[in-house]
Amino acid sequence: MRVLMLGIQFISGMAIIILVLLHSAKGEGLGSIGSQARVFATQKGLEKGLNKLTAFFAVLFLISSFLINLIR
């Protein structure tokens, strides 16, 4: 069981890294400090899908981390 959870954690961790790198840059930089950033910028369909997948794998990673801790 522990090996399965470690495998899920590894795969979800790698998926998070890849999905975060696939996100497009917002280009705000330090302009967001001076409130010049676009607060209500619209997201395209691809970006929404990447956000959902990233959130899914982040939750999967956290759940697997919690379960690994319980198994010990």
Q: Where are the domains of the chain?
A: 1-22+45-72
pTM: 0.74
Rg of the chain on CA atoms, in Å: 16
Cα–Cα distance, 15 to 27 (Å, whole number) = 24
32 or 70, higher pLDDT = 70
Tokens 């409130």: give the residue.
35
Q: What is the pLDDT of residues 23-41, one digit of tens each?
A: 877 665 555 555 555 555 5
